[in-house]
Amino acid sequence: MRLFLVSSLIFLLGCSSSDPSGTDGNGDDNGDGPPSNTSYEVVEAFPNLSFSQPLDLQHAGDDSGRLFVVEKSGVIRVFENKASVSGSSVFLDIQDRVDDSGSEEGLLGLAFHPNYESNGYFYVNYTAANPDRTVIARFQVSTGDSNVADVGSELQMLTYAQPFSNHNGGQLAFGPDGYLYIAVGDGGSGGDPNGNGQNLSTLLGSILRIDVDSQQNGNNYSIPPDNPYADNNQGYREEIYAYGLRNPWRFSFDAENGNLWAGDVGQNSYEEIDLIQGGGNYGWNIMEGTHCYEPSSDCDESGLEMPVWEYDHDLGNSVTGGFVYHGPTLDNLTGWYIYGDFGSGRIWALDNSDPDNPENTQLLDTDILISSFGVDADNELYICGYGGSIYKLEAVE
């Protein structure tokens, strides 16, 4: 994704707000949106805690009341999910294995196994050096302390080369089907110079789907039999679930219906929100959002999946995918997809219940570098601020 504008002049990302978006210059939708008598603010969820470049927030699904925050350098911190919590502890420290030297490199994602409470397995997504690569690895919690992982338990599930330091994807999540989904960027640089987005023989530029509970062909995972390219004879990577993506930094599953939402970071002009379908081609680098990436070229849109929503760089320059809200406190937002932008700090709510007429409403224009969203065991929504704080939305009556 286009993270970390702070430290350098990085990324060639994009965003969008074109005719289909129906937004004005303030990003406000022309439809009704969430009830107009409700406004929102962001507040620090854990005012006594601070983190170093937090990139992800997860819960373990074990009824422990804990949250886990991923720090870019290679540390996962754990703490009790209470506003008054006064400290966090180190759950995992793999800084010696993580290459976080580039603005988009580091420990990028975390997912707990659906049976974590019984098997203690969790999975991480990180970049490593010599050679430059992404590592998807499994770790296990220690037997003596549930707040400390066994750093020596690493089992590398999957690795793949990274030709450049940016566009590494990062998200890990288990779907309702129990399979592990993995966000993979196009390999970096600008404009997808190696054509990875449209190349099914590489893992790059895609969302992968693997079965971590069985092994196959010498790998520490197997291919789900209903993956779109399972058992193909064309040399396509069988792990691929969807492709044609530039940098799907954050994706999530709707907790109610299982829909897979992704924010795909754009190039120079447009950011997009996609509903991911198995076997779907999301267009990069033929398209950027709903627009031909190179307008002068013969742009064939046939067979491509268009985004649910897009916005242009007047509104932001690095989309941070979020969640469909099903939490207990913001009733007016239930069923709306909440997402933001790292560069501008804007937060929006998107309603796609009528796919022909989606509604998008700007909730807030903040100064937060929104690196990620996360939910707790009750589906309450949190916002990771790259500056070090975790926030949540609150309604202002």
Average pLDDT over residues 198-223: 98
Task: Enumerate residues 6+ apart whose C-beta is below 8 A from 171.
Answer: 108, 109, 125, 181, 182, 183, 248, 249, 250, 251, 252, 321
- pLDDT for position 37: 64
Is residue 292 assigned to a domain? yes
Question: Which position has the higher pLDDT, 179 or 21?
Answer: 179
What are the tens digits of pLDDT across the range 246-260?
A: 999 999 999 999 999
* pLDDT at res. 297: 77
Q: How confident is the model at residue 245 (pLDDT cuts 50, 70, 90)?
A: very high
Domain-located, residue 1: no
Q: In whole angstroms, give the CA distance from residue 95 to residue 256.
A: 36
Please report the pLDDT score of residue 35 as a whole number: 57
What does the pLDDT read at residue 295? 82
Q: Residues 318-339: pLDDT tens digits?
A: 999 999 999 999 999 999 999 9
For a pLDDT cut of 90, what percent of the chain falls above it?
Answer: 89
**Is it true that the peptide bond before 35 is cis, omega within 30 degrees of 0?**
no
What are the tens digits of pLDDT across the range 253-311?
999 999 999 999 999 999 999 999 999 999 999 999 999 999 877 899 999 999 999 99
Confidence band of 175 (pLDDT split at 50, 70, 90): very high
Query: Which tokens belong to 180?
Result: 């592990």
According to the model, what pLDDT value does residue 31 have?
A: 41
pLDDT of 165 higher than 70: yes
The tally of domains found in the chain comes to: 1
104-147 pLDDT per residue, tens? 999 999 999 999 999 999 999 999 999 999 999 999 999 999 99
As a whole number, the mean pLDDT across the chain is: 92
128 contacts 98 by C-beta, under 8 angstroms: yes
Among 192, 205, 182, 203, CA closest to 264: 205
Residue 9 lies in a domain: no
Q: What pLDDT, on the 0 to 100 scale, is given for residue 6?
A: 34
Q: What is the DSSP string of 70-122?
A: EETTTEEEEEES-TT----EEEEE-TTT----STT-SEEEEEE-TTHHHH-EE
- CATH code of the domain covering residue 364: 2.120.10.30
Residue 124 lies in a domain: yes
Q: Are 169 and 183 in contact (CB under 8 A)?
A: yes
At residue 33, the pLDDT reads 55
User: Cis before residue 285, ω within 30 degrees of 0?
Assistant: yes
pLDDT tens-digit profile of 334-388?
999 999 999 999 999 999 999 999 999 999 999 999 999 999 999 999 999 999 9
Q: Is residue 13 part of a domain?
A: no
What does the DSSP assignment read for 241-277? EEE--S---EEEE-TTT--EEEEE-BSSSEEEEEEE-
**Euclidean distance between CA atoms 145 and 207, whole angstroms:** 34
Mean pLDDT on 162-166: 96
Indicate the SS3 state at residue 197: helix
The domain in which residue 328 lies consists of 19-396
pLDDT digits (tens, 9 = 90+) for 42-87: 999 999 999 999 999 999 999 999 999 999 999 999 999 999 999 9
DSSP for 313-331, written as a single string: TTT-SSEEEEEE---SS-G
**12 assigned to some structural domain:** no
pTM above 0.85, yes or no: yes
Reported as a pLDDT band with limits 50, 70 and 90, residue 17 is very low
Spatial separation of the C-alpha atoms in residues 276 and 264, rounded to whole Å:
11
Q: Does the pLDDT at position 16 exceed 60?
A: no
At 92-105, the pLDDT tens digits run 999 999 999 999 99
For residue 83, being part of any structural domain is answered with: yes
Asked if the model's pLDDT at residue 217 lies above 90, the reply is: yes
Residue at 7 is within a domain: no
Strand partners, 124: 110, 137
